[in-house]
Structure 1
Amino acid sequence: MALVASSPTDKYPPLPDDKFPFKEPPPVVITPCNPWPPPYYLEDNLRKVEPYHYTYNTYCKQRWRGREILDIFASEFRDRPAEYYEKAIVEGRVVLNGKPVPSTKTVVKNGDVISHTLHRHEPPSTAQPIGIVHEDDDLIVINKPAGLPVHPAGRYNFNSIIEIMRADRGYGWNPLPCNRLDRLTSGIMFIGKHRQAAEDMSAQIRGRTVKKEYITRVVGEFPEGEIVCEQPILQISPKLGLNRVRANGKEARTVFKRMAYYPPKEDRATVQNTDHPEGMAWKRMRGYSIVRCFPITGRTHQLRVHLQYLGHPISNDPIYANQRVFGPSLGKGHSEEENDEDIMTRLGRMGKEDVADAVAYHDEMVDLYNKRKAEKMTGETCKICDTPLYSDPGVHELGIYLHARRYRCEEGKWDYETGLPEWALPPPGYEGATEATAESDPLAVDLRKLGLEDEESKEPGPDLVSNGTVTGDTASEPIAVAAAG
């Protein structure tokens, strides 16, 4: 992809000298906006994107109002250091409402549009194709691969569900997601082919007429029976994607039901030290469970946070099952804020100085090479923009053991499901469930019996939430989507 210098007419004129001292920014090397076709290529079972120049246009978010522009960039966006953003503002690669920013201390107000042109380096994603569960004239029901965000967000743009589907079906096609899954989560998603279809499905999801079932693999022996968690959830750090159980958080309720438990093999549970270099002892001694999840509300990271609180986090979750961040207890029963700063500091090092250390990264089915292979700063920088470069992610970083297996209309109009993911099937040498049964189906849970739903009326639908650290929104008209996972 050829790079060309922008013409003088593309530059923003300097502000008057009598108001602000302003240095003319240097020529910016750019490629045409939104290069087409997207510069994808496949390598080592990963979908990669050639680096390209790109301009983010982001409206001022509510939490940004009244804050200095450099403070917003430095605190909200993790992929580059504060020094980079300071230089970008000074050199004119960041503009406010289409005009150069006079100072890094300029305060951002409601209605402002921040534009940031940068040489974009997207992280690799899985090369697994997007599965089609059902398609008609109105909707496409997909099986989303783990490791792909739904919308362009953060460091991801072309490596997102929307842009991959657009690349497959044509530049003019506008896929409209009706629900959202976290980047690391796989499973059922609805894509509207036109606005009315997307609005209708989104309304169904918001109105609680859709029952959702997730499947997950968690640390240890999960209790039998129907386990209800009603702990409120608070967003602690949008930059790090951290949410915790807090009394002042938003109401959140989930029903869990164990599907299978696979204990460790006695002849392998020999290492007692959890700091052993092979790191297998802790997981082997506890085994793992396959658990069905029935979210009644739809908070960000709801299932992941509730499972951590119960002492059974998703076993390869790089945040909530991370021993280097939460210690040996993995945050079980934590609902106080006294250690939040320490947790955020340790979490902030993941992928930079440290490699994430989730419990199942020590799975005996993952060889030593994959345990050591992980996304981390290499110490090298891009020759064009001096951006710090990362290594490729390991297989264990492309997703977590959380899958949206089934969505069903309670009125019986439609029902879509996938099979169990490979990681939920019985391991070699064990017998266990290979499909859902009526007895273990959380969609059949009697909510009135559990005291979670009034017989005469239902609660309003879950709050709609954003993706957290979104740096750019390419949708021309937003569709309300319910968060999940």
Structure 2
Amino acid sequence: MRRVQPAALNVTLAIVRRIAAPLARFGNYLTSLMSPRPSSPSEATAPEPIDGAGVSPAKAGAKVPNRPIAREISAHKKRLQALSETTHTIIPPCGDPWPRPYYFEDGLRKVKPYHFTYRTYCKERWRGRTLLEVFECEFRAHTRTYYKQAIEAGRIVVNGRAVGSDYVLQNGDLVNHTVHRHEPPVTDEPISVIHEDDGMLVVNKPAGVPVHPAGRYQFNSMTEILRSERGYHFNPRPCHRLDRLTSGILFFGKTAKAADNLTEQIRQRTVRKEYLARVSGRFPDGEVVCDQPILQISPRLGLNRVRANGKSARTVFKRLAYYPPLEDADAEGRAGEGPGRETAEGAVNEKHRPWINNKGHSIVRCLPLTGRTHQIRVHLQFLGHPIQNDPLYANRRVWGFNLGCNDADGSEAKDEDIMSRLERMGKDEVADAVAYHDEMVQQYHERVAEKLSGEVCDVCHAELYTDPGDRELSIWLHSLRYEDAGGKWSYVSPLPSWALPPSGMSGPTEAGGMEDLVEAVKDENPEIAG
């Protein structure tokens, strides 16, 4: 018999130990995929009952009575309800409470706090970094102190087991973070249906509601709100993206085939999309084509800007109306394309705001020919007419005096400076986001906005926020129209209130057709010409 040398044996054992853990994790993953899952909350297996001391009878050695599963579920739900009433939280037996825990207050749709577990595999950029470092740098929702305490308390675990703050993440690690979740409120404005058939649902999305669960939002999302209204088994499939702050036309496939068909049409650019935006100043006459490339300079902050080395982007703009400030409109006898301000209190006092050089506002039609993130917002900023209430791209405290106008090389506002300023803007600091608003600075700073309230949650001790104001719930950008380039179908939403002429003034109340916008670029983009 050949004798194995100790050195060779040590090498072999090291190799086995190195591959054993990843193989075990992969095996657990396959097991979870093959495990049957409940199709609805009522079909879920009841969790093991827990006595008043927090110990299950089975683990304590007690004999568990053989009761029917329906009675087990009923008893468990009663215990959860009692716990919910005492702790002001919902602990769902399957992580999926039904009906959804909504309540309505002060014009907002709110969600009762509940426990939720985030799950993610270790990303490539996390490898070799400590667990605490990753949470502190990658997730801005909480402080370093919170994350350290969560790791020590076992609310943040790796591969199902508690680890220390100095644990170094490796490829294949599964990170779980269980939180007492406080979802931000959204508007309680109803979701109006524009069209519905057997395969498709077309709605007018309210501003401030995300399309699907993401980030701080779970049940306060379009997919979950629609499911709560139409039944647990309704599964709306979003066919395209629409930013949380943006309102307007949104398509949901009622079947996978219908969703895939429309998504493919959009990908092939045979679907025309028109948006409306309310921008600062008097937008130029005629059709304006902006084909500046766009680069994402910070994925974590969601920050984009015009850059020569960015992805190709192309948008056609045309002014629908211009409304000068109230004092200018009065001086002109309220003539011209449109009026100015709605109220005298909103008039600009330039003596206190000498840097304002872009008076009034324009309603602009927008035809994006590509689908880059924040494309319309970035192009309007570059053209010197940012969306008036854009909390990111109309923020002088982030971008400086010129707000990125014609700054294609970043010479006036360095990327590092912009990201640094944006990092420092916490929820306790109200950003002067609406640099071009035709209202006094004092009125703006007195506006209600979401910020730290000074209170903490009794359950998780997290700092609580006040309810969001208008600035957090909407942006003056609206998805107005989607239509097939070949003329097979077309859906149009009503104009939002901010795009209508002010009270007592005249102005357009409809946008008209898209012929002029298409004509301006049909040679370079024949796919949208039909």
State the TM-score bracket (shorter-chain normalisation). 0.7 to 0.9
For the residue of structure 2 that corresponds to 1:318, the secondary structure is coil
Return the letter of the residue paired with 1:374: A
- For residue 63 of structure 1, report the CA deviation from its aligned partner: 4.8
CA contact (8 A) 2:212 2:218 kept: yes
Q: Tell me what 1:271 maps to.
A: 349
Shift in alpha-carbon separation, 1:270–1:180, aligned structure 2, 3 A:
closer
- For residue 403 of structure 1, report the CA deviation from its aligned partner: 0.5
Question: Does 2:501 correspond to 1:426?
Answer: yes
CA distance in 2 between partners of 1:211 and 1:62 (Å): 37
Question: Does 2:228 correspond to 1:154?
Answer: no
Shift in alpha-carbon separation, 1:427–1:243, aligned structure 2, 3 A:
same
For the residue of structure 1 that corresponds to 2:224, the secondary structure is helix
CA distance in 1 between partners of 2:53 and 2:139 (Å): 27
Structure showing greater radius of gyration is 2
CA deviation profile, 1:218-248 (whole Å, cap 9, x unmatched): 0111111111111111212233221111222
Q: 1:98 aligns with which of 151, 155, 160?
A: 160
CA deviation profile, 1:272-316 (whole Å, cap 9, x unmatched): 24559xxxx948x60000001111110111111111111111000
CA distance in 2 between partners of 1:64 and 1:200 (Å): 37
Return the letter of the residue paired with 2:467: D
CA distance in 2 between partners of 1:153 and 1:168 (Å): 20
- For residue 447 of structure 1, report the CA deviation from its aligned partner: 1.9
Q: 2:231 aligns with which of 170, 180, 183?
A: 170
Consecutive unaligned residues in structure 2, runs of 5 or more: 1-49, 57-86, 331-343
CA distance in 2 between partners of 1:56 and 1:50 (Å): 18
- For residue 270 of structure 1, report the CA deviation from its aligned partner: 6.1
CA contact (8 A) 1:217 1:288 kept: yes
Shift in alpha-carbon separation, 1:73–1:195, aligned structure 2, 3 A:
same
Q: Tell me what 2:132 maps to.
A: 70
- For residue 179 of structure 1, report the CA deviation from its aligned partner: 0.7
- For residue 436 of structure 1, report the CA deviation from its aligned partner: 1.7
After TM superposition, the structure 1 stretch with the greater mean CA deviation from structure 2, 216-225 or 63-72, is 63-72
The percent identity for this pair of structures is 58
| Structure with bigger RCO (C-alpha 8 Å, 6+ apart) | 1
Report 1:381-392 matches (<5 A).
381-392=456-467
- For residue 367 of structure 1, report the CA deviation from its aligned partner: 10
Return the letter of the residue paired with 1:445: E
CA distance in 1 between partners of 2:55 and 2:107 (Å): 42
CA contact (8 A) 1:217 1:315 kept: yes
Report 1:405-420 matches (<5 A).
405-420=480-495
Q: Tell me what 1:376 maps to.
A: 451
CA contact (8 A) 2:110 2:183 kept: yes
CA contact (8 A) 1:259 1:292 kept: yes
CA distance in 2 between partners of 1:306 and 1:345 (Å): 22
CA distance in 2 between partners of 1:427 and 1:306 (Å): 26
- For residue 428 of structure 1, report the CA deviation from its aligned partner: 2.7
- For residue 205 of structure 1, report the CA deviation from its aligned partner: 0.9
Q: 1:52 aligns with which of 114, 131, 139?
A: 114
CA distance in 2 between partners of 1:168 and 1:86 (Å): 39
CA contact (8 A) 2:349 2:440 kept: no
For the residue of structure 1 that corresponds to 2:487, the secondary structure is coil
Consecutive unaligned residues in structure 1, runs of 5 or more: 10-27, 459-485
After TM superposition, the structure 1 stretch with the greater mean CA deviation from structure 2, 371-380 or 341-350, is 341-350
Q: Tell me what 1:444 maps to.
A: 518
Q: Tell me what 2:393 maps to.
A: 320
For the residue of structure 1 that corresponds to 2:423, the secondary structure is helix
Shift in alpha-carbon separation, 1:412–1:239, aligned structure 2, 3 A:
same
Return the letter of the residue paired with 1:209: T
CA contact (8 A) 1:408 1:415 kept: yes
- For residue 371 of structure 1, report the CA deviation from its aligned partner: 4.2
- For residue 379 of structure 1, report the CA deviation from its aligned partner: 2.5
CA contact (8 A) 1:256 1:293 kept: yes
CA deviation profile, 1:75-95 (whole Å, cap 9, x unmatched): 232221222223222322122
Return the letter of the residue paired with 2:428: E
Shift in alpha-carbon separation, 1:206–1:365, aligned structure 2, 3 A:
farther
Give RMSD over aligned pairs: 2.9
Please give the TM-score of this superposition, normalised by the length of structure 2. 0.74
CA deviation profile, 1:172-222 (whole Å, cap 9, x unmatched): 222111111000001111111111111111111111111100001001111
Q: Tell me what 2:367 maps to.
A: 294
For the residue of structure 2 that corresponds to 1:286, the secondary structure is coil
Shift in alpha-carbon separation, 1:365–1:163, aligned structure 2, 3 A:
farther
CA deviation profile, 1:37-95 (whole Å, cap 9, x unmatched): 22111111011111111111224455545554333322232221222223222322122
Shift in alpha-carbon separation, 1:442–1:141, aligned structure 2, 3 A:
farther
CA contact (8 A) 2:118 2:177 kept: yes
CA deviation profile, 1:333-390 (whole Å, cap 9, x unmatched): 2234562233223223434231122227845599949942101112222121121111
Q: Tell me what 2:477 maps to.
A: 402
Shift in alpha-carbon separation, 1:329–1:365, aligned structure 2, 3 A:
closer
Report 1:108-127 matches (<5 A).
108-109=170-171, 111-127=172-188
Question: Does 2:96 correspond to 1:34?
Answer: yes
Q: Tell me what 1:306 maps to.
A: 379
Please give the TM-score of this superposition, normalised by the length of structure 1. 0.80
Q: Tell me what 1:335 maps to.
A: 408
For the residue of structure 2 that corresponds to 1:48, the secondary structure is strand
CA distance in 2 between partners of 1:296 and 1:227 (Å): 13
- For residue 163 of structure 1, report the CA deviation from its aligned partner: 0.9
